[in-house]
Chains A and B, each alone.
Chain A
Amino acid sequence: MDKVLMKGNEALCAAAIRGGCQFFFGYPITPQNEIPEYMSRELGRAGGTFLQAESEVAAINMVYGAAGAGARVMTSSSSPGIALKQEGISYICGAELPCVIVNISRGGPGLGGIQPSQADYFQATRGGGNGDYYLLVFAPANIQEAADLMIEAFDLADLYRMPVMILGDGMLGQMMEPVVFKERKPRDLPQKDWATTGTAGKRKPNIINSLRLDPAELENLNIRLQEKYAQLKANEVRYETHQTEDAELVFVAYGTSSRIVKNAVAVMRANGLKAGLIRPITLWPFPEQAFEELPDSLRALMSVELSHGQMIDDVKIAARGRWPVGFYGRSGGMIFTQQEIVEAGEKLLREVSHVSGV
C-alpha cells in the first residue's frame, strides 16, 4: 500500500476498518470529531454500522451490547467523554468483553480545554471506573504508530476478551503525517462461543453479565482477571529505548510529547551530556523491564509529561529507589519546548551531583 498523508484521527479510523471494526458508537466531542465523522462516511461502505448515540454513556453501553453479541466494535471520545464512559467500561471488563476505545485526550479537570494534554494517564492506567481491572493501553507517538497499533487492537481485544484503549491527544488527532497501512498479521483467535447470538435451540442460553452476588464467584472472576493481566505483562509490554546504553540521565516520556523529549536528548548529547529516553508504548502494562536494562552510568531518571506528574508514580515503582526520579511537566494545553526539557534535565543532573558530592 502507498504512503498517504492523513490526519491522525482519520488514520485511526482507516486502520480500525482494516483491523476488522464492524461497529462504531460515539458522541461528538472535540478534538476527536473527525473519528465519528469519518466512520459515519466510511464504515457503512466497508459493510459496518455507524451510530451516533445520544450520549457517551449510551455509546459505551451500545458497545457493551454489540460486543456481547460477538461484534468487533469501537467507540472514541475525549477526556470528559471518556470519564462518562467509565461505568460502561467497568461493566465490559466485568463481563470480559472485547472492544476498542480511543481517547484523544484534552486538558482537565472538568470541561478543561481542547488543547493537547496527558492528564488522563491515571484514568487510563488505573482502571478508571469501579472495581479491580485494567485496560491494555497503547500510547502512540506518531500517526504511523497509531495506525499500526489500531490495526492490531481488535485482535488483541478478542484474544484477551478485554478493552484495548488507544490514548492519544489533540496533537496526534489533529496533525497530518505520512502513513502506510500495513496488512493485519493473521492470528489464531478464540471462537466467541460465549456471545449472545440466539441459542437457535441448539445450546444453553449464553449470559453476558458482570453481576456476581456470590462473593466466592466474584473473587474467582477477579482472580481470573489478574491471571489475564499477568499474561499481558508477560506478552504485550511494548516500549522504545533511545540512546540509553551509556546514559547518565534517562527521560521517560510517552505519546506525542516524547518527540519533543527525543529532540532534547539530541541537543543535550550535542552539548556533551549523555541523555537518553525510555518511551513506554504500552502505558498499561507499564514497561518495567526497560528499567532493568539501564546502564551503570545512569545517575537520574526524569519523567516528562503534559501533566503535573502521573506517570512518574510508575517510573518510581520501576526505579525501585535505585536512582533519583525528577519531573518536568506542563499542563492545560501548554506544551514544553525542547529547550525547557534540556534545562530541566541539566538542572536535575546538577542537583544529583551536588547531593552525591561528585
Chain B
Amino acid sequence: MSLEKIRDPERMRRWPGHMETDYVYTVGLAGERFFREIKDNGKFYGTRCEKCGITYFPARTFCERCLSELKEWVEVSPRGYVEMYTIAYMDLEGNKLEKPEIWAFIRFEGVFGGLVHKLGEVKPEEVKIGMVVEPVLKPKEQREGSITDILYFKPAK
C-alpha cells in the first residue's frame, strides 16, 4: 500500500473554470410596488401586520412571524438614522478604492427593518452613530425601479 505524493509543484495541475451564468431576478410581489413607489413618486413604503403589530420596511408580502398576507401599505418617512456604519477601502475584488466608501445600516422611525446603503456628502471622520440622514435620489427620468435609484443618504438638514 502506498500513498504517493507529487513533490514537484510544477507537476501539480490546476484547471481553470468559470460559472458563466446570467441572472434576471423579478423583484416579486411586494418588491414590484415598493420599487415603483420610489421610481415614480420618490416615496418609501412598508407593509403592516396588524396581528403582530409590526410594520415591515422595506415592504414585504407576508409577515415572517405569522405568515399573514400583508395588504396594508404604510408610507414611511425617508428620514432615518445611522444605526451602524463601516468604511470600505477596497472593492469586491480587493482593489484599493480611489475614495473610501461609507456604508451604513439605516433605520427609520416606527418600522421594523431598514436599509443598507451608501452615505454621501459626509467625510468618514464626521459620521456618527445616530446621525440623522435623508436619501438623495437619481433624477426621476433616470430611475429604473431599483435600490440604486437611491444614490446615497446624506446628513439631514
Are A and B subunits of one complex?
no
